[in-house]
Structure 1
Amino acid sequence: NAIGPLIGLWIVATTREIESSAETPIYILLYGGLGIVTGLWAWGRRVIQTLGEELTTITPTSGVCIEMGSALTVLIASNAGIPISTTHCKVGSVVFVGRFRAKDNVNWSLMRNILIAWIVTLPASGGISALVMYGLMQLVKS
């Protein structure tokens, strides 16, 4: 899902300049596609089960509402220039549609766990990135 930053790094590394018009090599796009397919194969079923069965019950009608709501949210945010997570939009749509359908139709303890994971992810990925950067800087100094 983060092939854009990889392409940016590749362009800067190969051309030694920042250009927005540089062409993207097909092998980087294929690498990104392979990553997405691998992720779907490894965790897709579990994610779908968690959101579609454990978090709330989704019917065909509520599924359409979830898709429309999350797509509209992404469209509005993108047009406003706001970076937004499609995953967060989807989970938010699932929760709100589930809550709208019935008062006790949402597994709030599971939603709490999802929120905790989201909160922990930001500092954890930042810390790991800082360690990688530190290691690379030490490597370059040598």
Structure 2
Amino acid sequence: MDFRHGQRDEPEINLIPFIDVLLVILIFLMLTTTFSQATALQVALPHAEAEAPPRRPAEIVVAVAADGRVAVETQVLEQRGVAALAQALRAAAQGRPDALLVIQADAAATHQSVIDVLDAARQAGLVQITFATQRSGGTP
């Protein structure tokens, strides 16, 4: 009988199956993640039954909050008033003569706030205007 106390093999951890599992999880998360349009203001859009039109590449999004604050694209305007808004819209439409103005007004926003945006759009020379809504089922 040979009872040798020779070298023992050290146990080693194989990392390749671990990396494979992590890659599968990463691919799953990438495929199931939804991307939403980020705006500077949180607005609760009014409800409508119409289908949403396809997104056009030359859009200028204006968000109007319930308290009257306005954001052009992702920048909240510090100054209130039609003149400041018209200037911001002119800057956003620079180089995009056929830009579509999308007004995302909160359902609780005042009528005057929306009219101010429309007046500023007229002053900025934007003629294609639409309003953003959400479906009545509650999904945007």
Q: TM-score, normalised by structure 2?
A: 0.23
- Larger relative contact order (Cα-Cα within 8 Å, sequence gap ≥ 6): 2
Bigger strand fraction: 2
Q: TM-score, normalised by structure 1?
A: 0.23
Bigger helix fraction: 1
Larger radius of gyration: 2
